[in-house]
């Protein structure tokens, strides 16, 4: 049964409404929002990730779609608005996940973003294509989680399923297909999957053909905010015939809804992982090949992205281990001083690169002594998050060729006010926390408005500005953290090569 929440509004209101589905790895969230306004209702249904073998992560299409239907029906019922008020429905999802279909039904389980079955194809990509050509074309270096190596593995390991497939659909595309019966791929998903010519905003057909992947299985590319079809599923609570609109990746939607499309803005999306993203007018040419580059959800914009790893997940692990919730860990951290009493927690990633991904430093806590307190360990974990963000922001500034005009903090972590304060202190720069509570849903609502030709003013996204702090007390601990991370990495084999 869906966990549903009503955010406001009432019966008989004629404000145009948008609805949406957000497909995550552990839950499906449905929302209803006023176009140009606020989210009025949302509902959440849990879903299960199956891991039948090592390095695999799969979805059951039937179970996931049943959960999506339940959550969308619950959100629409909770909003309690007239069917005529709805102007469109859209979707977002995790990236790199995909489903194969024969044009009518799914062929087996879907593959999720955290699946790493593509590891055995990385040497082939490096040898047959070359990392420089691969990055220059697709904006991505070899990584086993990306769609391209996973597809190469599947085509070789399951040739019967690959031959039977008529459509490759990213999870977002699959949702749109389920809603409308129309197969389309939103361009940023093709880019995030390492399957697009990022500069041309088109499928990388020459590259894919050279690798033996059958490009006739690919759906036509569309940009975010395009109408792909009309609603044909009568089990989601919305009126049949409603425009079904291409959405986008969860991180890009969150950045867009938080004001991250503006020049010079760097958006930190703090959740279980922490993507760090900027929007540019052209794909950057980085000789170090660090950031991943995709088309953005706005026409003529590209998303340039690094990632600080999984500090949110590790903070949750610490909280569960000591028997509390993450907010309690933050409260305990306040009782320690900058530098965490000499404790260093290597639980986040300061440099996003092919080498760093292939040789991940093991999670570790260093510098513990008999005088170390619980507060010191808590503070070391939250400081690691801030240090990794600082390093990633600096690397993006290098790629952009200029300091950030504004650093925006959004995502679930932004609900913890101490994180914004800590980032402002560690970086010595102000940090903006947008006033909007659900930026991804509001960005989805904006895409529906764009598709339907509705001129809707987005709510003020500037929000609270946490003033810059004094980074001096953090300089030595920051250097210590970088040194510990590099030392731990240097002692490991390159596991993905």
Q: How many domains does the chain have?
A: 2
Is residue 10 predicted with pLDDT exceeding 70? no
In a domain, 339, yes or no: yes
What domain range includes position 350? 307-431+468-490
In a domain, 174, yes or no: yes
What is the reported pLDDT for 495?
Answer: 46
Residue 458 falls inside a structural domain:
no
Half-sphere exposure of 399 (CA within 13 A, CB side): 31
Average pLDDT value over all residues in the chain: 92
- What pLDDT is recorded for position 12? 47
CB 409 within 8 A of CB 433: yes
Residue 299 counted as domain residue: no
456 pLDDT higher than 80? no
Alpha-carbon gap, residue 240 to 229, rounded angstroms = 11
Query: 234, 251, 268 — which closes off a domain?
Result: 251
Say how many C-beta atoms besides its own lie within 10 A of residue 325's C-beta. 11
Dihedral pair phi/psi, residue 86, rounded to 5°: -80, 135
pLDDT of residue 476 exceeding 80, the answer is: yes
DSSP structure string for 51-66: --STT--EE-HHHHHH
Is the same domain home to 237 and 314?
A: no
pLDDT over 60 at 232, yes or no: yes
Region 216-231: mean pLDDT is: 97
Clarify whether residues 238 and 373 are in a common domain.
no
Statement to judge: residues 343 and 247 lie in one domain: no
Whole-structure pTM over 0.75, yes or no? yes
Last residue of a domain, one of 203, 230, 251: 251
The angle subtended at Cα 329 by Cα 328 and Cα 334, nearest 5°, is 95
Mean pLDDT over 383-395 rounds to 97
Instruction: Tell me which residue has tokens 């040739």.
Output: 159
pLDDT of residue 413: 85
Query: Same domain for 75 and 222?
Result: yes
Nearest to 398 by CA among 239, 290, 246, 275: 290
Q: What is the pLDDT of residues 39-61, one digit of tens each?
A: 999 999 999 999 998 889 999 99
Q: Are strands 98-101 and 292-295 parallel, antiparallel or unpaired?
A: unpaired
196 with 64, same domain: the answer is yes
pLDDT: is 60 or 24 the higher one? 60
Answer left, alpha or beta for residue 164, where phi above 0 means left and psi between -120 and 50 means alpha.
alpha
Q: Output the CA angle 343-345-348, nearest 5 degrees.
A: 155
Within this chain, do residues 321 and 247 fall inside the same structural domain, yes or no? no
Answer yes or no: is 284 within a domain: no
Task: In whole angstroms, give the CA distance from residue 299 to residue 8.
Answer: 32
62 and 151 in a single domain? The answer is yes
Query: Is residue 415 in a domain?
Result: yes
- Residue 469, pLDDT above cutoff 80: yes
How far is it, in rounded angstroms, from Cα 311 to Cα 314?
Answer: 5
Task: Please tell me the distance from the alpha carbon of residue 240 to that of residue 76, in angstroms, as a whole number.
Answer: 14
- b/e burial code for range 406-428 (CB count within 10 A of at least 16 → b): bbbbbbebbebeebbbbbbbbbe
Indicate if 49 and 171 belong to the same structural domain: yes
Q: Are residues 72 and 215 in the same domain?
A: yes
Q: Answer left, alpha or beta for residue 81, where phi above 0 means left and psi between -120 and 50 means alpha.
A: beta
Cβ-based neighbour number of residue 80 at 10 Å: 15
Contact 112/49 with Cβ under 8 angstroms?
yes
My answer on whether 241 and 316 are in the same domain is no
CATH of the domain at 143: 3.30.420.40
Give Rg (Cα) of the chain. Answer: 22
Q: DSSP strand E in 137-280: where?
A: 167-170, 185-186, 196-197, 202-203, 221-222, 227-230, 243-249, 265-269, 275-280
Specify whether 245 is located in the same domain as 356.
no
Mean pLDDT of 217-238: 97
Report which secondary-structure segment, H or E, holds 4. strand 3-6
The residue-averaged pLDDT of 403-407 equals 93
Tell me the pLDDT tens digit for each residue of 130-168.
Answer: 999 999 999 999 999 999 999 999 999 999 999 999 999
**Residue 461: inside a domain, yes or no?**
no
Domain end (from 186, 217, 251): 251
What is the rounded average pLDDT of the residues 63-88? Answer: 97
Q: What is the pLDDT of residues 303-342, one digit of tens each?
A: 999 999 999 999 999 999 999 999 999 999 999 999 999 9
- Does the residue 286 lie in any domain? no
Cα dihedral sign for 486, 488, 490, 496?
A: negative
Compute CA 410 distance to the chain's CA centroid, rounded to the nearest angstrom: 12
What is the helix, strand, coil percentage profile of the chain, to 5? 40, 20, 40
Is there a single domain that holds both residue 183 and residue 92? Answer: yes
* 8 Å CB contact between 223 and 187: yes
Q: Which pair of structure tokens corresponds to residue 130?
A: 């070359």
């Amino acid at each position: 049964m869906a966990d549903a929440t009503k955010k406001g509004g009432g019966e008989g209101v004629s404000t145009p409404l948008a609805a949406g589905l957000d497909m995550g790895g552990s839950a499906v969230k449905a929302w209803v929002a006023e176009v140009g306004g606020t989210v009025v209702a949302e509902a959440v249904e849990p879903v299960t990730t199956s891991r039948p073998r090592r390095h695999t992560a799969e979805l059951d299409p039937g179970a996931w779609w049943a959960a999506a239907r339940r959550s969308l029906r619950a959100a629409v019922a909770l909003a309690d608005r007239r069917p005529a008020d709805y102007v469109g429905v859209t979707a977002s999802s995790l990236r790199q996940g995909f489903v194969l279909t024969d044009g009518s039904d799914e062929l087996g389980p879907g593959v999720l973003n955290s699946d790493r079955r593509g590891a055995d194809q990385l040497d082939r990509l490096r040898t047959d294509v070359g990392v420089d050509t691969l990055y220059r074309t697709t904006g991505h270096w070899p990584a086993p989680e990306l769609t391209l190596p996973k597809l190469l593995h599947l085509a070789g390991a399951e040739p019967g399923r690959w031959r039977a497939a008529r459509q490759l659909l990213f999870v977002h595309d699959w949702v749109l297909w389920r809603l409308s019966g129309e197969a389309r791929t939103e361009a940023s998903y093709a880019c995030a999957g390492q399957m697009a010519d990022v500069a041309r905003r088109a499928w990388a057909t020459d590259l894919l053909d050279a690798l033996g992947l059958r490009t006739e299985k690919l759906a036509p590319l569309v940009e975010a905010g395009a109408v792909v079809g009309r609603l044909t599923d009568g089990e989601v609570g919305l009126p049949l015939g409603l425009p079904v609109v291409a959405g986008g990746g969860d991180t890009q939607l969150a950045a867009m809804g938080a004001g991250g499309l503006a020049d010079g803005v760097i958006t930190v999306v703090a959740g279980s992982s922490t993507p760090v993203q900027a929007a540019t007018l052209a794909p950057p040419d980085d000789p170090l090949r660090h950031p991943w580059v995709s088309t953005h959800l706005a026409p003529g914009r590209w998303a340039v992205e690094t990632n600080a790893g999984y500090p949110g997940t590790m903070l949750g692990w610490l909280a569960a281990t000591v028997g509390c919730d993450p907010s309690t860990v933050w409260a305990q951290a306040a009782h320690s001083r900058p530098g965490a009493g000499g404790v260093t927690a290597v639980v986040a990633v300061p440099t996003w690169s092919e080498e760093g991904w292939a040789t991940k430093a093991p999670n570790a806590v260093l510098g513990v002594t008999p005088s170390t307190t619980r507060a010191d360990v808590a503070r070391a974990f939250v400081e690691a998050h801030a240090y990794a963000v600082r390093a990633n922001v600096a690397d993006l500034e290098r790629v952009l060729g200029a300091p950030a005009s504004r650093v925006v903090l959004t995502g679930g972590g932004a609900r913890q006010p101490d994180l914004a304060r800590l980032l402002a202190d560690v970086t010595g720069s102000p940090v903006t926390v947008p006033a909007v509570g659900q930026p991804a849903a509001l960005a989805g609502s904006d895409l529906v408005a764009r598709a339907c030709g509705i001129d809707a003013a987005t709510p003020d996204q500037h929000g609270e500005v946490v003033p810059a702090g004094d980074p001096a007390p953090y300089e030595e601990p920051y250097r210590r953290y970088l040194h510990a991370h590099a030392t731990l990495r240097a002692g490991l084999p390159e596991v993905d090569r």
